[in-house]
Amino acid sequence: MCGILVSKTFAQIRISAEVRPRSEFRNGFKTLTDDSKDPAFFTEQRSRLYLDYSNSDFVFKLAFQDVRIWGETTQIFKEEPGNTFLSEAWGQYFFNPEFSVKVGRQILSYDNQRFLGGLEWAQQGRRHDALLFIYESQEKSTQLHVGLAYNQDDDVPEPGFLQGDGANFYSVSGNYKTMQYAWFHKDYEAGGFSLLAHNAGYQNADSTVSNKQTFGFIPNVNLGKVSFAGDFYYQSGKQGTNDVSAFLAGINATIPTAVTPLTLGVEYISGDGDLSDGKNTAFSPDFGTNHAFNGFMDYFFVGPANGAVGVNDIYLKTKWKIGKGSLQGHLHQFFTGSSQFDGTGEELSKAMGTEIDLVYGIKLAEAVTWNIGYSQMFATETMETIRGGDRTHIQNWAWTMITFKPTLFTSSK
């Protein structure tokens, strides 16, 4: 969560770093490949330097980041391709122990990160330039966050004088121009729940702004030894010229066993791929950590729009302890969320494919972890048709990642 404990008597300084190279073999990652294409292999590295400062009144954080593909620059060069930038830069001032204001470039991550998440699997992560008003009461087990953002690009010499024709036109594609949200969370003895109301305004080509709203209810409850969790979202408003009416509903149960916990779940995401009537029924988890959902191969909402036709994901997840590490195993069965037809008008099977994900992780040292993963997608003719014809049925992806994250310096005074 976003809450931070602040010392009442000491100023604290902490400097830490992170180096995280990840090598990937991609043969159908994110979308279907075919026999005419060669698999891809590359190593991408994230390097970060963190500076954290806190005292009784405020918290401050800077995080510098560099993301690069191994070999993208020559060994001897004078100019970088511009991959070094600020990952985070924010300050949080506490008016009292319960109420604070947080402003700057920051991570917005809530609940299971289905709609608002940090996306830390991606080497660059996801960040927002935003202002937050935060109320958090440990005594009442209650949290309330209200966030605001207004984005502008640098197409005028001085952003402080936004005047004249087109001065307020936001030209950064894929991002909102304005954003407002409220998130409320309440814990109780057997579980808890969260409520989310979110509005995002997107710049249209004709200089108007489309506003899309997302409303969420995210509960969890423990009944005996079984844990239940759910997330339910509804989207409305406008996206371009289309009216939005879409929803997501998911529920899962985690059952402990003598060998390993088992999580059984189902998630339905609306969509039919048809915008001809001016209605958009495809739910979009716009700012979430989408890699954590619907399979690690990112076929839905990360890569090309396999999810535009709707997704019904039935899954089984588990985890085994192996030696000093652990092995995750996930099984997904994907179906379309709507009826789809081939070129002759014949209805296709709703089954899109089966995905198997395996990830082994081990802590090698106090600040060193190693992960290795393998995923395979068994695609059906339905997914082939959605993605445009003849493709290879079996797609696979393998990766390995080592993370070094040491603390370099700490001081209290």
Specify whether the CB–CB gap between 227 and 262 falls below 8 A. Answer: no
Predicted pLDDT of residue 116: 98
Predicted pLDDT of residue 6: 45
Which pLDDT band holds residue 307 (cuts at 50, 70, 90)? low
**Six token digits for residue 113:** 């990160």
pLDDT digits (tens, 9 = 90+) for 378-413: 999 898 888 766 666 679 999 999 999 999 999 987
User: Is the pLDDT assigned to residue 4 strictly greater than 50?
Assistant: no
pTM given for the model: 0.92
* Distance separating alpha carbons of residues 182 and 146, to the nearest angstrom: 4
**Six token digits for residue 238:** 């406008």
pLDDT digits (tens, 9 = 90+) for 267-292: 999 998 888 899 999 999 999 999 99
pLDDT digits (tens, 9 = 90+) for 327-361: 999 999 999 999 888 888 899 999 999 999 999 99
Q: To 5 degrees, how large is the angle CA 274–CA 277–CA 282?
A: 40
Lowest-confidence pick of 80-94, 154-168, 329-343 = 154-168
* Distance separating alpha carbons of residues 300 and 294, to the nearest angstrom: 7
User: Is the pLDDT assigned to residue 302 strictly greater than 80?
Assistant: no
Lowest-confidence pick of 5-9, 54-58, 231-235, 369-373 = 5-9
Burial class (CB in 10 A: 0-12, 13-18, 19+), 21: middle
Q: Which residues contact 371 (CB under 8 A, 6 or more apart)?
A: 359, 360, 361, 362, 400, 401, 402, 403
Q: Which residues contact 202 (CB under 8 A, 6 or more apart)?
A: 176, 177, 209, 210, 211, 212, 239, 240
Q: Which residues contact 6 (CB under 8 A, 6 or more apart)?
A: 54, 55, 56, 57, 58, 59, 94
Kindly state the helix (H) or strand (E) to which residue 364 belongs, with its residue range. strand 351-365
Predicted pLDDT of residue 163: 65
Which of residues 200 and 79 earns the better pLDDT score?
200
Q: Which residues contact 322 (CB under 8 A, 6 or more apart)?
A: 360
Could you give the C-alpha distances from 233 to 51, 114, 115, 245, 267, in angstroms and in order?
A: 36, 10, 9, 11, 11
Q: To 5 degrees, how large is the angle CA 82–CA 22–CA 116?
A: 75
* Distance separating alpha carbons of residues 232 and 250, to the nearest angstrom: 6
User: Is the pLDDT assigned to residue 178 strictly greater than 90?
Assistant: yes
pLDDT digits (tens, 9 = 90+) for 105-122: 999 999 999 999 999 999
Which pLDDT band holds residue 36 (cuts at 50, 70, 90)? confident
